[in-house]
């Protein structure tokens, strides 16, 4: 590989994972991490859902970041176009397969010899499983040691059972109402709506346009799924369908009082991340040590 190629790879890596250094979990070569945690946020959110603990009263001491620092695990949270350091980058084609084609080559190099788990919330679940399928089928990368998937149906859901309306058919007001059904906070519809509107439209296209090519029992990894009891859009039975996607073990965790976007609520987020860490410590780390 030429020096130009190496530089291009580094530029792409930093574009896709700009929060790694801030997270405090970066492992410097020639050392290798014991584990990598790959994360996908929900529509409208950025990678810092996982990599930033915030400041002052809004600070949340992340159990996941604490775990990563203690166990020499590296947290790679994916940044999609239109936000953060990529805010001036347009969505050329907001489709899940297109996004994964950009991410997969970079991650394949990081995961060939390091075990990993994946975390996805909302549409991030579909991004996560599509990534794993491409890594496995195209790049020969092993499946993750565990999937953590919250508040979204399995991708095999039929169109007639999808509870959302396709946003391309909605007026701006109708689209705002659709966002509210997903529990988007009212502050988004104030002066900052002009920023969020195009971003949310593009992000919603990810699941509106998704043409699923995954079948039941596609994976062998264990899956822990989460469902917030106050989620007005996604039902518990939809989340339970993730069990059909794997031959591995399946567990459903209930987040009491959690709405669709419970990771944006301080106490619910801490509880959610604590539970993810507990599973990693109990079920993932022993297999790595062994």
What CATH number is given to the structural domain containing 103? 3.40.50.1820
Percentage of the chain modeled with pLDDT above 70: 96
- Whether residue 157 is contained in a domain is answered as yes
For residue 195, being part of any structural domain is answered with no
pLDDT of residue 92: 79
Q: Is the pLDDT assigned to residue 137 strictly greater than 60?
A: yes
- For the chain, how many structural domains are there in total? 1
The pLDDT assigned to 5 comes to 36
Contact between 16 and 79 under an 8 Å Cβ cutoff? The reply is yes
pTM of the model: 0.95
- Please check the confidence at residue 57 and state whether its pLDDT lies above 80: no
The mean pLDDT of 156-169, rounded to a whole number, is 95
pLDDT higher than 90, residue 58: no
Entry field: residues in the chain: 290
| Contact predicate 147/118, CB 8 Å | yes
Please answer whether residues 121 and 269 qualify as being in contact, where contact means their C-beta atoms are separated by less than 8 angstroms. no
What's the CA gap between 205 and 208, in Å, rounded?
5
pLDDT in tens, 225-276: 999 999 999 999 999 999 999 999 999 999 999 999 999 999 999 999 999 9
Amino acid 29: pLDDT? 85
According to DSSP, residue 283 is labeled I
Per the structure, the complete domain to which residue 229 belongs is given by 3-162+212-289
Half-sphere exposure of 236 (CA within 13 A, CB side): 10
Q: Mention every residue, 6+ apart, whose C-beta is less than 8 A from residue 74.
A: 20, 25, 26, 27, 33, 35, 36, 37, 68, 114
| 76 secondary structure, DSSP code | E
Q: Determine contact, residues 141/59, Cβ cutoff 8 Å.
A: no
Asked whether the predicted pLDDT for residue 4 surpasses 70, the reply is no
Can you tell me which residue has the tokens 């987020």?
A: 269
């Amino acid at each position: 590989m030429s020096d130009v190629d190496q530089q291009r790879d580094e530029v792409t890596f930093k574009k896709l994972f700009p929060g790694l250094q801030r997270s405090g979990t970066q492992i410097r070569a020639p050392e290798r991490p014991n584990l990598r945690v790959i994360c996908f946020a929900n529509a409208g959110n950025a990678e810092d859902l996982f990599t930033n603990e915030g400041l002052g009263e809004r600070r949340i001491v992340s159990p996941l970041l604490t775990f990563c620092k203690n166990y020499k695990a590296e947290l790679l949270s994916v940044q999609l176009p239109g936000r953060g350091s990529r805010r001036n980058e347009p969505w050329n084609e907001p489709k899940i397969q297109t996004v994964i084609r950009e991410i997969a080559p970079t991650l394949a190099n990081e995961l060939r010899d390091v075990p990993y788990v994946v975390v996805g919330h909302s549409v991030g679940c579909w991004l996560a499983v599509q990534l794993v399928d491409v890594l496995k089928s195209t790049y020969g990368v092993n499946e993750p040691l565990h999937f953590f998937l919250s508040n979204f149906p399995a991708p095999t859901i039929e169109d007639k059972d999808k509870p959302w309306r396709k946003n391309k058919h909605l007026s701006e007001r109708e689209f705002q109402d659709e966002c509210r059904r997903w529990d988007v906070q009212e502050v988004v519809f104030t002066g900052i709506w002009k920023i969020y509107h195009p971003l949310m439209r593009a992000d919603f296209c990810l699941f509106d346009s998704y043409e699923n090519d995954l079948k039941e029992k596609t994976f062998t990894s264990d899956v822990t799924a989460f469902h917030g009891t106050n989620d007005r859009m996604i039902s518990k039975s939809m989340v339970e369908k993730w069990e059909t996607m794997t031959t591995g073990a399946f567990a459903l965790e209930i987040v009491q009082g959690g709405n669709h976007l419970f990771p944006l609520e301080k106490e619910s987020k801490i509880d959610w991340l604590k539970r993810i860490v507990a599973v990693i410590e109990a079920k993932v780390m022993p297999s790595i040590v062994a």
